[in-house]
């Protein structure tokens, strides 16, 4: 695997940290800004909606930009958004800062995934995506627990300041290791890119991502209050549990890449089945600290085992000209799933369902993704096109 993939993973680490860090700070943010936990949870939904809107728009607006220049510009916006969060005086300002930061997310991961697949042979494309997304898993493994620890000792604002510092480091790594652009990328006419959206399998793939991944966030968005209010964990043990979740994500990410290299649709189907079962078992997982910690590890594995199959599914169906746009749209779909899951979980809590029942809400959402996967088996599919991702070469 080339070093440029590790540079992409470094950028993914920074962006992933700012996406997930708020989950370990919900109680602190709510207390400081005078808002409820469900309201604080909308900071996750707001970020996800910003990704969903920003991903296709920025991808199309910057389609002629040299890839390295685009990645560096996105990282500068990321740094500015996190600094704005540090000084946000109220909920509205913090939401605006989160949305500004989110605009970089979809295009970075979407274009980065296409670049990653263009650097390796056909049989290694899913593993290349998994390697790039390992930055995201490391963000959860290291960034989120570190952010929770910083928040507990120095306040949630300092946690966002630390994330801005991570962005500065990621910017430097991208400068050093992403190859210099040799010119503007060769891109097809806009009409040809948009033609990929005519294929039903592309929309089914996006729907699978939205609903399949929504289940993860219906539960994980509220993991901190689950652990503190239901399991009665101390703050230090919560940080350790978040660390274990990140370890599960890392394992699941690599597992999903390996399975998808052997068969994308089969890997997608069985990873969703496993995720659904794990989410349903969440109803009984938080009564004891040891059980809760083991459960969170398994949840992490099953959650990210779906990522590479979901991304490869839409790339396979995008055709020879739609890879950049469809890849970014699928990143938007992941975040629509995040928003849907956080919103559905908050709605259930506001309706009096109770934290311990969030696993059932989560399982119902993932079941919708599984149904769409089964439906997709009966529709015509495109065969993977080896050169579909070569347009991303700088």
Report the alpha-carbon angle 104-44-57, nearest 5: 30
Q: Which of 184, 197, 196 is nearest to 63 (CA)?
A: 184
Per-residue pLDDT tens digits for 27-84: 888 888 888 877 887 887 788 788 888 878 887 888 778 878 888 899 899 999 999 9
pLDDT at position 93 over 80: yes
Label residue 327 by pLDDT band (50, 70, 90): confident
pLDDT at position 390 over 70: no
Report the alpha-carbon distance of residue 183 to residue 148 in Å, rounded. Answer: 42
| Helix residue ranges per DSSP H, 62-90 | 67-86
* Distance from chain centroid for Cα 384: 24
State the pLDDT at residue 157.
Answer: 93
Mean pLDDT, rounded, for 271-284: 94
| Other Cβ atoms closer than 10 A to 22 | 27
* Distance from chain centroid for Cα 364: 20
Exposure string over 201-238, b if 16+ CB within 10 A, otherwise e: bbbbbbbbbbbbbbbbbbbbbbbbbbbbebbebebebb
Report the alpha-carbon angle 332-335-340, nearest 5: 125
Report the alpha-carbon distance of residue 83 to residue 79 in Å, rounded. Answer: 6
Kindly state the tokens that stand for 126: 């899913």
Tell me if 158 sits within 8 A of 87, measured CB to CB: no
Tell me if 82 sits within 8 A of 163, measured CB to CB: yes
What pTM was estimated for this model as a whole? 0.73
Name which CATH class applies to 3-392.
mainly alpha
Report the alpha-carbon distance of residue 358 to residue 303 in Å, rounded. Answer: 16
Report the alpha-carbon angle 52-55-61, nearest 5: 140
> For the chain, how many helices (H) and strands (E)?
17, 0
Report the alpha-carbon distance of residue 157 to residue 82 in Å, rounded. Answer: 10
Q: Give the domain ranges of the chain.
A: 3-392
By mean pLDDT, which of 200-204, 296-300, 305-309, 324-328 is the weakest? 324-328
By mean pLDDT, which of 17-31, 72-86, 220-234, 364-378 is the weakest? 17-31
State the pLDDT at residue 389.
Answer: 37
Label residue 88 by pLDDT band (50, 70, 90): very high
* Mean per-residue pLDDT over the chain, rounded: 83
Report the alpha-carbon distance of residue 325 to residue 59 in Å, rounded. Answer: 7
Tell me if 38 sits within 8 A of 349, measured CB to CB: yes
Distances (CA, A) of 30 to 24, 43, 147, 279: 12, 11, 16, 26
Report the alpha-carbon distance of residue 257 to residue 250 in Å, rounded. Answer: 11
3-state secondary structure of 377: coil
Kindly state the tokens that stand for 59: 């991808």
């Amino acid at each position: 695997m080339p070093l440029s993939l590790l540079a992409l993973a470094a950028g993914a680490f920074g962006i992933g940290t700012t996406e997930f860090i708020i989950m370990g700070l919900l109680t602190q943010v709510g207390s400081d800004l005078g808002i409820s936990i469900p309201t604080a949870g909308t900071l996750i939904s707001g970020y996800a909606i910003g990704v969903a809107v920003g991903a296709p728009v920025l991808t199309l607006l910057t389609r002629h930009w040299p890839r390295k220049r685009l990645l560096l510009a996105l990282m500068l916006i990321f740094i500015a958004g996190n600094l704005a969060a540090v000084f946000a005086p109220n909920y509205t300002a913090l939401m605006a800062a989160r949305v500004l930061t989110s605009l970089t997310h979809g295009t970075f991961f979407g274009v980065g995934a296409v670049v990653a697949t263009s650097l390796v042979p056909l049989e290694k494309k899913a593993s290349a995506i998994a390697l790039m997304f390992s930055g995201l898993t490391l963000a959860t493994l290291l960034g989120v627990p570190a952010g929770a620890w910083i928040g507990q000792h120095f306040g949630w604002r300092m946690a966002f300041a630390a994330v801005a510092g991570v962005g500065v480091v990621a910017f430097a790594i991208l400068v050093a290791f992403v190859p210099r652009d040799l010119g503007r990328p060769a891109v097809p006419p806009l009409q040809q890119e948009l033609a990929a959206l005519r294929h039903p399998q592309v929309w089914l793939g996006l729907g699978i991502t939205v609903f399949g991944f929504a289940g993860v966030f219906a539960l994980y968005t509220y993991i901190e209050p689950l652990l503190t209010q239901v399991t009665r964990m101390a703050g230090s043990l919560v940080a350790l549990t978040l660390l274990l979740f990140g370890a599960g994500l890392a394992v699941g990410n690599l597992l999903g890449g390996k399975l998808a290299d052997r068969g994308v649709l089969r890997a997608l189907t069985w990873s969703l089945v496993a995720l659904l079962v794990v989410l349903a078992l969440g109803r009984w997982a938080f009564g004891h600290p040891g059980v809760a910690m083991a459960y969170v590890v398994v949840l992490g594995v099953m959650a990210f085992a779906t990522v590479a199959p979901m991304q490869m599914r839409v790339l396979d169906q995008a055709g020879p000209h739609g890879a950049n746009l469809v890849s970014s749209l699928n990143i938007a779909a992941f975040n629509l799933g995040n928003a849907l899951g956080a919103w559905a979980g908050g709605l259930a809590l506001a309706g009096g369902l109770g934290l311990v029942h969030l696993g059932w809400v989560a399982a119902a959402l993932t079941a919708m993704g599984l149904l769409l996967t089964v439906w997709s088996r009966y529709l015509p599919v495109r065969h993977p096109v080896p050169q579909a991702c070569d347009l991303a070469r700088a």
